[in-house]
Structure 1
Amino acid sequence: MGVMRIGHISIRVMDLEAAVKHYENVVGLKVTHRDAQGAVYMKCWDEWDKYSVVLTLSDQAGMNHVAYKVEKNADLDDLKGRIEKFGIQTELVAAGSMPFVGRMLQFTLPSGHDMYLYAEKECVGTDVGSTNPDPWPDGLRGAGVHWLDHCLLMCEMNPEKGINKVAENTRFFIDVLDFFQTEQVTVGPQGSIQLASFLSHSSKPHDIAFVGGERAGLHHLSFFLDSWHDILKAADVMAKNKVRIDVAPTRHGLTRGETIYFFDPSGNRNETFAGLGYQAQRDKPVVTWTEDQAGRSIFYHTGVMAEGFTTVYT
């Protein structure tokens, strides 16, 4: 089976305790570990592995790496060969290099983003357990998000110079990691330039996405909620906590997701995302959004791209 799902994302923050407060009180995660270097490890209530978000102190916001979990340890050896055959160097990292994680396969995506694959992480169980569980736990904080759902990475794009890291990443994820494409945004003559690409390795509309920009970076990390009502409640939580909201509650055309975008105290964009949209399957035709409908693909209700949405990122 290979890749199963996103496992964790490690991000840089400029005020560690302010970030912890944000991800606890606004998003709804809880701290599960602090290491000797000061990094903070957090999880959502409906996740069973030890952590899904890692906060590290830095003088600049952004992403350190993203990690995806594979089904079996042997998958790491198979994928190492496939990745290197594609022309990307890899490194097998010893178990324990990250707390509670087995050995990992590290490499750099064509876009320049750092990525890890791993098969083992300590299982601590969800907050409702695995025997006769309640539908949700008592004592939820903030938005009460269920799990880390996906991330969207910005990739360098300069058609005049023949640079399109969105297309390169897409080819790598499909040909090597066995993802499949669910949706795309195309621009240029006859839609020849792939501006955005959404990829899945499950039945979700996307497990990762790429959008073209001036430079590589992190656009957002996204957390799953059940419903539109939960999205509205999340917005209330953000307003009560004076959080900087980027895009008020709305719907995407892409993925059909219900969404709100906001920033953590360091400027890393977050999303709460509700509704699975549709069941993604490998034989489902790829949905294409054309250049004249690009605004609608992101913000379905207004059809207008929010100012700074694709130019402001970490």
Structure 2
Amino acid sequence: MSIMRLGHVRLRVMDMEKALHHYTEVLGMLESGRDPQGRVYLRGWDEWDSYSLVLSLAERAGVDHIAFKLESDDDLDVFAARVAAAGREVRRHAAGELHDCGRSISFELPSGHTMFLYAEKRFVGKAVGDLNPHPWPDGLKGAAVHWLDHVMLMCPVDPEKGINTVAETTNFLVEVLGFYLGEQVMAGPDHSFQAASWLFRGSKPHDLALGGGPVAGLHHIAFFLDDWNAVLHGADVLGKHKVKIDVTPQRHGITRGQTTYFFDPSGNRCEMFGGMGYMAQPDMPTVTWHVEEIWRGIFFHEGEPKPDFLQVYT
């Protein structure tokens, strides 16, 4: 009984045509469907469920919800009871309410973000098939991202008022939902204030990251690429399409990933994340960074402050 992985993110965009160009022509995602509300469903070529990204037309950018996939349908009742016992309202949804999915539950994280859990989603298979497959399919576009790798949420914090939903949400994810804490940033005079966290369910460094800010929001969604060369090629594709780049190819100290950051046409920050960084396991000791070293942790090569990276989000 457990959560397997990040299933999808539903993202708000302000211009659907421009958003579709960004995610299909630039990043190389594949469209798998649309619904009567006008939402568009996309997946990476290496994903087997029908979608991992949902684009929803709205007046402002940001995230509507995140969703994680469970091992079995029976797990929904177990997690519903756990979430309710933790004092959070649980909403139950019939099959089909979440597009292409079986029944699901949803609830608010302590940070204020909406999270869904589900166990069934329509299977479409990888673009290479599952019988004697080639390493990659023909006809890929743009950066050709493999899959949705992780998401980072911004959580309200105010040390002066004693508000820290990074710590509250981290504790909820670990104690109630069974996530593991891979890395964390600790601040304050005695380094007792949890300013950021990276949590995982599988064997990669993180499926979900949390950072602190004045209001709840989305910091970024990240897509997996093979390695440094693929990240560099991805950045070339961004340049070719004149995409607004936030950070050119870099190395993370935290998670050790190879990375480049950029914005979609609505201002949602995206990341192309290369390599696995390291193998994470439940018995791995949590890696702790002191806030004084935060910029070396974020951008290992330079280690120089880039305030907009933390202050600008949707």
TM-score normalised to structure 1 length:
0.99
Q: Give the Cα separation in 2 of the matches to 1:243 and 1:4.
A: 33
Q: Give the Cα separation in 2 of the matches to 1:116 and 1:293.
A: 34
Number of residue equivalences: 314
Q: Give the Cα separation in 2 of the matches to 1:119 and 1:6.
A: 12
Distance apart, 1:290 and its partner CA: 0.7
Equivalent AA in structure 2 for residue 42 of structure 1: L
Q: Give the Cα separation in 1 of the matches to 2:38 and 2:284.
A: 45
Distance apart, 1:98 and its partner CA: 2.3
Partner of 2:189: 189
The gaps in structure 1 that reach 5 residues or longer are: none
Between 126-135 and 303-312, report the one with greater CA deviation: 303-312
Equivalent AA in structure 2 for residue 202 of structure 1: G
Q: Give the Cα separation in 2 of the matches to 1:102 and 1:85.
A: 24
Q: Give the Cα separation in 2 of the matches to 1:63 and 1:268.
A: 9
Q: Give the Cα separation in 2 of the matches to 1:127 and 1:306.
A: 38
Alignment of 1:126-165 (within 5 A): 126-165=126-165
**CA shift digits 1:136-156 (9 cap, x unpaired):** 111111110000001000000
Q: Give the Cα separation in 2 of the matches to 1:81 and 1:55.
A: 31
Equivalent AA in structure 1 for residue 313 of structure 2: Y
Q: Give the Cα separation in 1 of the matches to 2:98 and 2:200.
A: 26
SS at match of 1:82: helix
SS at match of 1:310: helix
**CA shift digits 1:81-128 (9 cap, x unpaired):** 001111111011010112211111110000000110000000000000
Q: Give the Cα separation in 1 of the matches to 2:291 and 2:114.
A: 30
Q: Give the Cα separation in 2 of the matches to 1:311 and 1:155.
A: 12
SS at match of 1:236: helix
Equivalent AA in structure 1 for residue 119 of structure 2: A
Partner of 1:275: 275
Q: Give the Cα separation in 2 of the matches to 1:55 and 1:257.
A: 26
Alignment of 1:181-220 (within 5 A): 181-220=181-220
Equivalent AA in structure 1 for residue 116 of structure 2: Y
Partner of 1:21: 21
Partner of 2:304: 304
Residue 223 of structure 2 is aligned to residue 223 of structure 1: yes
Identity between Structure 1 and Structure 2 (%)? 55
SS at match of 2:255: helix
Partner of 2:176: 176
Q: Give the Cα separation in 1 of the matches to 2:179 and 2:37.
A: 34
Distance apart, 1:243 and its partner CA: 0.0
SS at match of 1:255: coil
The gaps in structure 2 that reach 5 residues or longer are: none
**CA shift digits 1:272-292 (9 cap, x unpaired):** 001111111111111111122
Q: Give the Cα separation in 2 of the matches to 1:246 and 1:306.
A: 10
Equivalent AA in structure 1 for residue 292 of structure 2: D
Q: Give the Cα separation in 2 of the matches to 1:250 and 1:109.
A: 31
SS at match of 1:266: coil
Alignment of 1:12-91 (within 5 A): 12-91=12-91
SS at match of 1:24: helix
SS at match of 1:133: coil
Q: Give the Cα separation in 2 of the matches to 1:234 and 1:307.
A: 24
**CA shift digits 1:197-225 (9 cap, x unpaired):** 00011111001010001110000000000
Distance apart, 1:305 and its partner CA: 2.7
Q: Give the Cα separation in 1 of the matches to 2:157 and 2:55.
A: 28
TM-score normalised to structure 2 length:
0.99
Q: Give the Cα separation in 1 of the matches to 2:306 and 2:262.
A: 13
